[in-house]
Structure 1
Amino acid sequence: MTATETATSIPLVSGGDANGDHLEEMRRDPIGLMVRVREECGDVGRFRIGGRDVVMVTGPEQNEWFFRAPDALLDQAEAYPFMTPIFGEGVVFDAPPERRREMLHNQALRDSYMRGHASTIYGEVNDMVSAWDPAVGGQIDLLDWFAELTIYTSSACLIGKKFRNDLDRRFAELYHDLERGTDAYAYVDPYADIESFRRRDAARIGLVALVQGIMDERVARGDSAADDDRDLLDVLMSIPNDDGTPRFTADEVTGMFISMMFAGHHTTSGTAAWTLIELLRHPEAMAAVVDEVDRVMADGEAPDYQALRELPQLESAIKEALRLHPPLIILLRVAQERAEVGGYTIDPGQMVAASLSVSNRLPQAFPDADSFDHNRYIDPNHEDTENPWSWVPFGAGRHRCVGAPFAMMQLKTIFLTLLADWRFEAAQELDTYRDDMSKMVIQLQQPCLVTVSSRNQSGGAVAPIDTDVSQAEASETGSTGTSTRHIKVDEALCQGHGVCESEAPEVFKLNTKTHLVEVLNTRPPDEQRTKVDQAVKYCPTRAISVVED
């Protein structure tokens, strides 16, 4: 093999129809297909969808190439034309790169806003469970229940409470039809005259009408809420171009809303369901998580932002569910320039894919990779950060899911609230909970039933965890000597969440135009060591590092 071999020389996986096309297998068992590509072809392999070759890369080295590649080399937009009917034209994937970056930097995902979301999510969960009778319990379908809950939590946090309070049954029904328009046949023709696509298109028209109606009402009222009260729609409607005209059209605003909810709701609801199922399958992990929940929630109050950071058992269980059951199993790009990967040449126009489901189970990165083991992420183990290009349920690099920190916070708040008062048991055989492969976003196959009962805790109160940074840890050293450390930022990983600015504003500042962090002092004094270490520890994308001289 030489570096001059082209994509046509890349090994082609076996199987397919009479024409060697793997579309039907992709629709029926996409994970099985991608596993075969890895097993038969290695780090770089090829399969065919609708007559078009797709080069699939796996392994940490090839994944790093894929995830670090800029849009000028590997572009998302050209790879996802089948999402345009869902999001709308000129929004997300078919918008220019600079427009996409601007639209995706939602202020609600900034650290300063995130700190207020926990109480909102806590309230939404309690509103949902208020329908449960503690005396008799009941039975729920996990996917349906979490899907409804995350519609409310995501809309309240990402769009705003004003918008969330306008949601009704029409919205839920239309959104459900829109989601179900992700059939893999869209790879071939996203406008094909099939039932799921017809329902998808009708649903989007209906959603646009609902959102447009809310926007029109706000314009008619002349809403001018204060900064801390206005929601995302207010923000987007207020952004002007240089000439004073609105920056975003009504259709773009609607499309951005749909895209944000699509990611924040559909994938989170599935992960919540799978996390609970895996905990039911592993009682020892459930016991450890519940013990942690009881200590944090002993006072019965909404968890604060710092408490959510200090939940190693729960966070690890969620991470392991994400590793084994990533809702997005494949990410696509189209090569814009000639490039080399794994000894092969990729030509412009070539479709390139990274398989999250395969990478997350590589045995060289994760021992006993097919088994649930939440201890993978509990000190001294850090299998996620030690394998940043293999543990990729949120993607990685410059296009890592910008909402990943919100998703983790949302999931942790949901489980803190639920497990504090309620007990869950499987209502069907544990081996009957499995993935539904019929859509491009993989979730639990329905029915996925569990029984719910009140824990009825009547014993003595458990002392809450002190999640504040200790006085000794937080105290300044008083040293003003020259630091022996310097700060480095990998701009290809930075997504502008602003956690570092919140933790150490003397050292970091977020550039609101580039959405990248600026280091005000690459060698901060030792007296700021604790703040800098917190910024490094909690950076969602691991873009910041401290290097000893």
Structure 2
Amino acid sequence: MTEQPSPTNKEPEKMPGGLPLIGHMLKFGKNPFDYMTLLRSKLGEIGEFRLFHQQMVLLTGPEGNEAFFRAPDDQLDQNEAYKVMTPIFGKGVVFDAPPHIKDQQLKMLMPVLRDKPMRTYSKVIVQEVEEAIKDWGDSGEVDILEFMKQLTIYTSSHCLLGNEFRYELNEEFAHLYHDLENGMHPLAFIFPYLPIPILRRRDKARVRLQELVTAIIEKRAQKTEKSDDAFQMLIDVRYDDGSPLSPHEITGLLIGTLFAGHHTTAGTAAWITLELARNPKYMDKVLQEFDTLYGHEGEVTFQSLREIPVFERVIKEVLRLHPPLIFLIRKVAKDLKFKDYIIKAGKYVCVSPRVSHRIPEIFPDPEKFDPERFTKERQEDAIPFSWVAFGGGRHKCSGNAFAMLQLKAIYAILLRRYKFELVGTPESYQDDYKQMVVQPGSPCMVRYTKRGNIKQTATASKDTVANTVTKLNCFKIDIDMDLCQGHANCMAEAPEIFQVDDKGKLSILQDTPNNTLLKKAQAAAEYCPTSAIKIIQD
């Protein structure tokens, strides 16, 4: 007699309609979002489909997202899932490295994304935006996606990689990076070394970039003064055994650093313009906020960019509607239990931010552009892991703080100088699913008109947690160490409470701080890029 599966040990239900050999690849490849939305509507928050020979299990909704993001690395393996990145980053770098090497390499990248260097980036970004629009004149039209691609590669390389990449190699580097980024083709997730033109260009770009990196390393070695950029950090850093990074490894980690700062930002920046242009009410609200804070010539600073809650909500809503990654994926190394289901080792499990962001029970009227969802009164993202544009858990995108800073600084200048309108009809601007990083389809034309002199009417917005006055007898600090990535924003806000060492390890100096430190603690929680800090109020 055949033993029946336990009702609490079921395998996920399979999506019907798979074809021999290719499975569901045709329907998935045509529009992954539509396909995964259909899967959720038919099978619920867990369901299985097949791409060629690979069995894929899709988890959606906050509980599914949490199971995915909270699972330990030895259960859900990133390395096996992201073999597509090996030809881009290089053999033995990040996703192709053994776990203990990968952990060291990722920690080597963190210093450039920490609080202290982040405070210097706003001026660099402002400088790049002013330079990019200096010849725009009073009005005109521009492909906003192509403009943002160029602008963000300049801002990211200037902030993160150093002057050589920004000024000496800018044109060639931009072409090489473009070829590398295009190497993230959907087919490459299944067949990373398929001999097709787009992947051949990827491989040639990787070889050429390493040649350029090696030349810069040799040139810098002849100088007495050292730079303070990510490139120099990677030249100087050492593994735990004292060995330096090779030029091959430095090249891969520099690419990784830039992916953190640029990889998904250009499309998001373009969608901000498009959504504001087709929602004039919110365009006016954002303009009013910027005008109040900055006027026409007010200085854009790291602190002031923290005090624009209306625009922050706009960014979050754009990322809810248009998260740049179609889905995130892991290989199941050990059986994963989710509610009454077992996902067997050997399968792949994935989550889709875009599908989860359109669940009407969490985000009512989900197709509507409505930044007010994220006000303190509504807090539609209050359920943990409901909004996952940057991922979540221990693997939340380490570049999310830089991405937010970059978007804010770009628009603090752009919307101070110009107002934007759509050239096409509102419905003609749609996401393009030809690449794994989703962006609006090209061409993506908008019309810009120069704004008149704006007067500053206030010095700062007051809608921040840091400025909230709360009278309490005591408070406690709760840290989710699984979420902490060592950005050290908390230490910058409240050094009396938090300490982060050179390796990114967080220590709590006071478990129950004095009430005089409450505002600082609240600011530390507010500005933690991974939301690892909670203030417990008695």
Aligned counterpart, 1:522? 511
In the aligned structure 1, how far is the partner of 2:435 from the partner of 2:102? Answer: 25
Post-superposition shift, 1:230?
Answer: 1.4
| Contact persistence 1:306–1:467 (CA under 8 A) | no
Aligned counterpart, 1:70? 72
Post-superposition shift, 1:445?
Answer: 0.7
Aligned counterpart, 1:466? 460
Post-superposition shift, 1:516?
Answer: 3.3
Post-superposition shift, 1:475?
Answer: 10
The AA in structure 1 aligned to 2:508 is V
In the aligned structure 2, how far is the partner of 1:357 from the partner of 1:531? Answer: 34
Which SS does the other structure have where 1:506 is aligned?
A: coil
The AA in structure 1 aligned to 2:136 is W
In the aligned structure 2, how far is the partner of 1:237 from the partner of 1:529? Answer: 40
What RMSD, in angstroms, separates the aligned Cα atoms of the two structures? 2.3
Post-superposition shift, 1:400?
Answer: 0.6
| Contact persistence 1:491–1:516 (CA under 8 A) | no
Post-superposition shift, 1:367?
Answer: 0.8
The AA in structure 2 aligned to 1:396 is G
| Contact persistence 2:278–2:421 (CA under 8 A) | no
Post-superposition shift, 1:19?
Answer: 4.6
Relative to structure 1, is the Cα distance of residues 484 and 262 closer, same or farther in structure 2, using a 3 angstrom cutoff?
closer
| Contact persistence 2:69–2:391 (CA under 8 A) | yes
Post-superposition shift, 1:156?
Answer: 1.5
The AA in structure 2 aligned to 1:427 is V
| Cα deviations by residue, 1:213-267 (Å, 9 ceiling, x for unpaired) | 2222112x23442xxx511111111113466541x11111101111222232131
1:143-222 paired onto structure 2 within 5 Å: 143-219=145-221, 221-222=222-223
Aligned counterpart, 1:95? 97
Aligned counterpart, 2:131? 127
The AA in structure 2 aligned to 1:270 is G
In the aligned structure 1, how far is the partner of 2:276 from the partner of 2:217? Answer: 42
| Cα deviations by residue, 1:180-199 (Å, 9 ceiling, x for unpaired) | 12221113311111111111
Aligned counterpart, 1:297? 294
Relative to structure 1, is the Cα distance of residues 502 and 468 closer, same or farther in structure 2, using a 3 angstrom cutoff?
farther
| Contact persistence 1:183–1:440 (CA under 8 A) | yes
1:361-380 paired onto structure 2 within 5 Å: 361-380=358-377
**Partner of residue 420 from structure 2, selected from 420, 424, 439:** 424
**Partner of residue 338 from structure 2, selected from 338, 341, 351:** 341
In the aligned structure 1, how far is the partner of 2:120 from the partner of 2:234? Answer: 20
| Contact persistence 1:22–1:47 (CA under 8 A) | yes
In the aligned structure 1, how far is the partner of 2:85 from the partner of 2:417? Answer: 40
In the aligned structure 1, how far is the partner of 2:524 from the partner of 2:33? Answer: 37
1:318-467 paired onto structure 2 within 5 Å: 318-384=315-381, 386-455=382-451, 457-458=452-453, 461-466=455-460
**Partner of residue 490 from structure 1, selected from 467, 480, 483:** 480
Post-superposition shift, 1:155?
Answer: 1.1
In the aligned structure 2, how far is the partner of 1:267 from the partner of 1:413? Answer: 16
- Alignment: residue pair count: 531
Moved more, 256-265 or 493-502: 256-265
In the aligned structure 2, how far is the partner of 1:519 from the partner of 1:337? Answer: 34
Structure 1 residue runs without a partner (length 5+): none
Relative to structure 1, is the Cα distance of residues 314 and 548 closer, same or farther in structure 2, using a 3 angstrom cutoff?
closer
Which SS does the other structure have where 2:122 is aligned?
A: helix
In the aligned structure 1, how far is the partner of 2:207 from the partner of 2:31? Answer: 31
Which SS does the other structure have where 1:16 is aligned?
A: coil
Matched, 1:52 2:49: no
Which SS does the other structure have where 2:264 is aligned?
A: helix
In the aligned structure 1, how far is the partner of 2:249 from the partner of 2:515? Answer: 47
| Contact persistence 2:309–2:463 (CA under 8 A) | no
| Contact persistence 2:358–2:367 (CA under 8 A) | yes
The AA in structure 2 aligned to 1:17 is L
Matched, 1:258 2:255: yes
The AA in structure 2 aligned to 1:176 is H
In the aligned structure 1, how far is the partner of 2:281 from the partner of 2:426? Answer: 16
Aligned counterpart, 2:273? 276
| Contact persistence 2:176–2:209 (CA under 8 A) | yes
In the aligned structure 2, how far is the partner of 1:523 from the partner of 1:262? Answer: 39
Moved more, 286-295 or 537-546: 537-546
In the aligned structure 2, how far is the partner of 1:52 from the partner of 1:251? Answer: 31
Aligned counterpart, 1:232? 230
| Contact persistence 1:320–1:373 (CA under 8 A) | yes
In the aligned structure 2, how far is the partner of 1:395 from the partner of 1:231? Answer: 27
Post-superposition shift, 1:104?
Answer: 2.7
State the TM-score, normalized to the length of structure 1: 0.92
Structure 2 residue runs without a partner (length 5+): none
Moved more, 155-164 or 419-428: 155-164
In the aligned structure 2, how far is the partner of 1:312 from the partner of 1:131? Answer: 31
| Cα deviations by residue, 1:358-390 (Å, 9 ceiling, x for unpaired) | 111111111111111011112323223x03311
| Contact persistence 1:16–1:25 (CA under 8 A) | no
* Percent of matched pairs sharing the same residue: 41
| Cα deviations by residue, 1:78-111 (Å, 9 ceiling, x for unpaired) | 1111221111111121122333333334212101
**Partner of residue 118 from structure 2, selected from 114, 129, 132:** 114
Relative to structure 1, is the Cα distance of residues 235 and 3 closer, same or farther in structure 2, using a 3 angstrom cutoff?
farther
Matched, 1:506 2:506: no
| Contact persistence 1:27–1:439 (CA under 8 A) | no
Moved more, 209-218 or 285-294: 209-218
Post-superposition shift, 1:279?
Answer: 0.6
In the aligned structure 2, how far is the partner of 1:476 from the partner of 1:97? Answer: 44
In the aligned structure 2, how far is the partner of 1:509 from the partner of 1:527? Answer: 18
In the aligned structure 2, how far is the partner of 1:392 from the partner of 1:469? Answer: 23
Aligned counterpart, 1:538? 527
| Contact persistence 2:65–2:385 (CA under 8 A) | yes
Relative to structure 1, is the Cα distance of residues 473 and 441 closer, same or farther in structure 2, using a 3 angstrom cutoff?
closer
Relative to structure 1, is the Cα distance of residues 545 and 282 closer, same or farther in structure 2, using a 3 angstrom cutoff?
same
Which SS does the other structure have where 2:397 is aligned?
A: coil
| Cα deviations by residue, 1:275-321 (Å, 9 ceiling, x for unpaired) | 11011110000000011111122151431112111111111111101
**Partner of residue 81 from structure 1, selected from 80, 83, 87:** 83
Moved over 3 A (4+): 1-6, 241-245, 467-470, 472-477
In the aligned structure 2, how far is the partner of 1:143 from the partner of 1:469? Answer: 31
Matched, 1:311 2:308: yes
| Contact persistence 1:147–1:266 (CA under 8 A) | no
In the aligned structure 2, how far is the partner of 1:237 from the partner of 1:352? Answer: 36
Post-superposition shift, 1:202?
Answer: 1.4
The AA in structure 1 aligned to 2:121 is H
Which SS does the other structure have where 2:266 is aligned?
A: helix
In the aligned structure 1, how far is the partner of 2:261 from the partner of 2:339? Answer: 34
